[in-house]
Amino acid sequence: MHCRHLLIPLLMSLSVPVNAVVPGLPTRDQVDRWLAPLGADRSFDTSEAIDWGVIPGPFYTPELGIGIGVAMAGLYRPDSQDQTSQNSTITLSGYVSSTGAIGLRFTNHSFLAGDRWRFFLPGMLSHTPTYYWGRGFRAGSDRRNQQQYLSEEIRFTPRLLRRIAPCTYLGVGWSLDNMQASGFADRQKTGPEQEPDGAAVFSSGPLLSLSYDSRDYLSDPRRGVNASLQYIRYSKPTGSNTRFDSGTVHFSAYHSLDDQRVVAWEVNTVLTQGQVSWNMLPSLGSSDHFRGYYPGRFRDRDILTTQLEYRQSLSWRHGVVGWIGGGTLASAISRLGSERWLPTLGAGYRFAFKPGMNIRLDYGVGKGSRAFYFQVGEAF
| Same domain assignment for residues 207 and 136 | yes
Reported confidence tier of residue 63, pLDDT bands at 50, 70, 90: low
39 Rama class: left (phi>0) / alpha (psi -120 to 50) / beta? left
* 344 shares a domain with 278: yes
Q: How many domains does the chain have?
A: 2
Give 37 or 247, the one with higher predicted confidence. 247
- Report residue 147's pLDDT band, with 50, 70 and 90 as the boundaries: confident
d(CA 57, CA 95): 10
Please enumerate in sequence order all residues whose Cβ is within 8 A of that of 91, keeping only pairs 6 or more positions apart, or say none: 71, 72, 73, 74, 106, 107, 219, 357, 376, 377
**Is the domain of 370 the same as that of 278?**
yes
Comparing 188 with 349, the larger pLDDT belongs to 349
Contacts (Cβ under 8 Å, ≥6 apart) of 19: 27
Q: Please indicate, yes or no, whether residues 5 and 88 belong to a single structural domain of this protein.
A: no
220 and 111 housed in the same domain: yes
Domain that holds residue 142: 39-376
Radius of gyration of the chain measured on its C-alpha atoms? 21
Among 193-202, 246-255, 264-273, the least confident range: 193-202
DSSP calls for 58-109: EEEETTTEEEEEEEEEEEE-SSTT--SSPPEEEEEEEEEETTS-EEEEEEEE
pLDDT of residue 55: 81
**10 Å Cβ neighbour count for 83?**
8
pLDDT, residue 23, reads: 62
pLDDT at 186 over 80: no
Domain identity same for 220 and 164: yes
User: Dihedral, CA atoms, 54, 307, 327, 348, nearest 10 degrees?
Assistant: 40
Angstrom distance (rounded) from CA 214 to CA 222: 11
Do 8 and 100 lie in one domain? The reply is no
Amino acid at 339: E
Asked if 281 and 136 touch (Cβ cutoff 8 Å), the reply is: no
Distance CA 7, CA 58 (A): 8
Q: How far apart, in whole angstroms, are the C-alpha atoms of residue 263 and residue 315?
A: 19
Neighbours of 8 (CB within 10 A): 12
Element (H, E) at 208: strand 200-213
The pLDDT, as a whole number, for residue 1 is 34
The domain spanning residue 363 has which CATH number?
2.40.160.50
Determine the pLDDT at residue 3. 36
Q: Tell me the per-residue pLDDT of 70-90, one tens digit each, with 9 for 90 and over.
A: 888 899 999 888 888 899 999
Same domain (yes/no): 272, 329: yes
Q: Write down the pTM of the prediction.
A: 0.86
User: pLDDT band at 62, cuts 50/70/90?
Assistant: low
Q: Is the pLDDT of residue 14 over 50?
A: no
* CA separation for the pair 23, 254 (Å, rounded): 41
Higher pLDDT, 19 or 338: 338
46 and 8 inside one domain: no
Q: How much of the chain exceeds pLDDT 70, in percent? A: 91
- In a 13 Å sphere around the CA of 198, the CA atoms on its Cβ side amount to 8
The top-scoring range by mean pLDDT among 60-74, 93-107, 112-126 is 112-126
Q: What's the pLDDT band for 22 if we cut at 50, 70, 90? A: low
What pLDDT, on the 0 to 100 scale, is given for residue 56? Answer: 81
Highest averaged pLDDT of the listed ranges 32-41, 191-200, 215-224: 215-224
- pLDDT tens digits for 198-247? 889 999 999 999 999 999 999 899 999 999 999 999 999 999 999 999 99
Average pLDDT over residues 153-164: 97
Q: How is residue 30 annotated by DSSP?
A: H
Q: Are residues 141 and 167 in the same domain?
A: yes
pLDDT at 250 over 90: yes
Q: Give the residue-averaged pLDDT of 271-300.
A: 92
Identify each DSSP E strand in 101-146 by its residue range: 102-112, 117-132
Same domain membership, residue 157 and residue 32: no
* Same domain flag for 222 and 114: yes
Contact assessment for residue 104 and residue 90, using Cβ atoms and an 8 Å cutoff: no
